[in-house]
Structure 1
Amino acid sequence: MVGTKRQQAIRKALRALAPGIPFGDAEAVLTLAGRPAMKALPPGTALWLALASHVRHVHTDYDQLLAEGYERDAARFFVAEPSDDVLAGWGCQRSVLDGEMLEEGAPGA
């Protein structure tokens, strides 16, 4: 496998967490998880935050809700179920509805 041990761990975590993720989405998530702001986090945590952020911004109306004036937490609330639907479609057993995506100060807002 090519890349640093951290990059390898993040790729492995993605394959385990969302085995059906399309290639283009996987590449975007891996890029987000590899950002400098994520380096202080364990690979699995960085991957989850990147995955949740990618789904929220790319596969839901989150950015549109923000542009309409919704507060960040309210917008996240309204896109939690659609986010989970996307994740479930990729074979992900984890849910953003458990509140982990809503934590303050997490990179990948």
Structure 2
Amino acid sequence: MAGTRRQQAIRKALRALAPGIPLADAEAVLALAERRHMKDLPPSTALWLALGSHVRHVHTDYERLLAEGYDRDAARFFVVEDTDAVLSAWGCQRSVDENEEAEAEEA
């Protein structure tokens, strides 16, 4: 497996956290986790935040809610259950924690 030690750790964390994630989603999540603003976070933290962000933006009504004028916190509140449902379908045993995600997007 090629890549830096950090990239390998992020891929390993993804396989452990969401073993059923589709390949296209996995590639998008890995790209998010490897972005510059995530580099100072531990690989497992960067991966979790990227995973939650990807699901929220791609697999829920989050973007639509923002477009309709909801603020970020309200939109997140309304998509938590949908986000968790997607994560669960991918075999993820962890639930979304809104505070943890909010901190990462501000970083």
AA in 1 matched with 2:47: L
For residues 38-77 of structure 1, what are the structure 2 equivalents within 5 Å?
Answer: 38-77=38-77
Note if 1:107 corresponds to 2:105: yes
TM (norm. structure 1) is 0.93
Q: Per-residue displacement from partner, 1:6-33 (whole Å, max 9, x unpaired)?
A: 0000000000000000000000000000
Q: Structure 1 runs of 4+ off > 4 angstroms?
A: none
AA in 1 matched with 2:105: P
TM (norm. structure 2) is 0.94
How many residues matched? 107
Matched with 1:29 is: 29
CA contact (8 A) 1:38 1:107 kept: no
Deviation at 1:99, TM superposition (A): 3.4
AA in 2 matched with 1:80: V
Structure 1 or 2: larger helix share?
Answer: 2
Q: Identity of counterpart residues, as a percentage?
A: 75
User: How far apart are the structure 1 equivalents of 2:47 and 2:93?
Assistant: 14
Gaps of 5+ in 2: none
Gaps of 5+ in 1: none
Change (3 A) 1:11 1:102: closer
User: How far apart are the structure 1 equivalents of 2:17 and 2:57?
Assistant: 19
Q: Per-residue displacement from partner, 1:63-104 (whole Å, max 9, x unpaired)?
A: 0000000010000000000000000000000001x4344434
Deviation at 1:108, TM superposition (A): 7.8
Q: Per-residue displacement from partner, 1:9-60 (whole Å, max 9, x unpaired)?
A: 0000000000000000000000000000000100000000000000000000
